[in-house]
């Protein structure tokens, strides 16, 4: 098992499309950044890379590289997933907390949860999406994301399945022998 943690923040600016967790949200402002400013996908990307000690988002996609200007953050997430796979791990679950004054996330949480799950190849019930307002923090002009991920070793996972299968077949054998004895 591996645990990872990621954090990111972006500033709200008018005239930009707001994207959080790969979902476009209706709002007067969007998140400014070198890429599409998707604060949640950036934090997830860093959490995944951190979990397998494979650097951070900036080491793969430097903001100084014009190639990534306005880039879809899904590209960053896909690279992190590739690194997770190369290290022999699979995503077990993700938990996140967004901190922003506006817009309210609750009406969009299910959609964000479904999209993040789809991008990570896991089920929606393996993705936690929580949101808070920045009360007293003075960060009303920014969106912040905190993310924790848990990874499972692919080998451990498959041997656990084999063990579970053996256990089940042993139980079936026992049940059959009990039945046989009962018939005698």
Interface residue list for Mg ion (CB under 5 A): 8, 42
Minimum separation from the CB atom of position 93 to Mg ion (A): 22
**Residue 58 or 107 having the CB closest to Mg ion:** 58
DSSP-assigned beta bridge partners for residue 132: 99
**Residue 8 or 12 having the CB closest to Mg ion:** 8
| Residue 100 contacts residue 144 (beta carbons within 8 Å) | yes
**Residue 11 or 95 having the CB closest to Mg ion:** 11
**Residue 73 or 89 having the CB closest to Mg ion:** 73
Sequence-ordered strand ranges (E) for 49-178: 89-99, 127-132, 142-153
**Which token pair is 108?**
């969009």
Separation CA 36–CA 73 (nearest Å): 6
Minimum separation from the CB atom of position 66 to Mg ion (A): 17
Q: What angle do CA 55, 46, 65 make, to 5 degrees?
A: 70
Separation CA 83–CA 87 (nearest Å): 6
**Residue 42 or 146 having the CB closest to Mg ion:** 42
Minimum separation from the CB atom of position 168 to Mg ion (A): 46
Minimum separation from the CB atom of position 178 to Mg ion (A): 60
Minimum separation from the CB atom of position 61 to Mg ion (A): 10
Closest CA to 34 of 7, 77, 66: 66
What SS3 state is found at 100? coil
Task: Using CB positions, name the residue nearest to Mg ion.
Answer: 42
């Amino acid at each position: 098992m591996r645990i990872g943690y990621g954090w990111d923040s972006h500033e709200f600016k008018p005239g930009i499309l707001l994207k959080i967790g790969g979902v476009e949200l209706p709002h007067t402002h969007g998140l400014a950044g070198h890429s599409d400013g998707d604060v949640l996908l950036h934090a997830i990307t860093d959490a995944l890379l951190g979990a397998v000690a494979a650097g951070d988002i900036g080491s793969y996609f430097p903001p100084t590289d014009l190639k990534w200007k306005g880039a879809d953050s899904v590209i960053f997430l896909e690279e992190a997933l590739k690194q997770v796979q190369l290290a022999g791990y699979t995503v077990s679950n993700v938990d996140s907390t967004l901190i922003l004054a506006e817009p309210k996330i609750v009406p969009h949480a299910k959609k964000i949860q479904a999209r993040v799950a789809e991008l990570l190849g896991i089920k929606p019930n393996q993705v936690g999406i929580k949101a808070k307002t920045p009360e007293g923090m003075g960060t009303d002009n920014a969106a912040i994301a905190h993310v924790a991920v848990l990874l499972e070793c692919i080998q451990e996972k498959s041997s656990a399945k084999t063990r579970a299968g053996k256990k089940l077949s042993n139980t079936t054998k026992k049940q059959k022998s009990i039945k046989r004895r009962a018939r005698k």
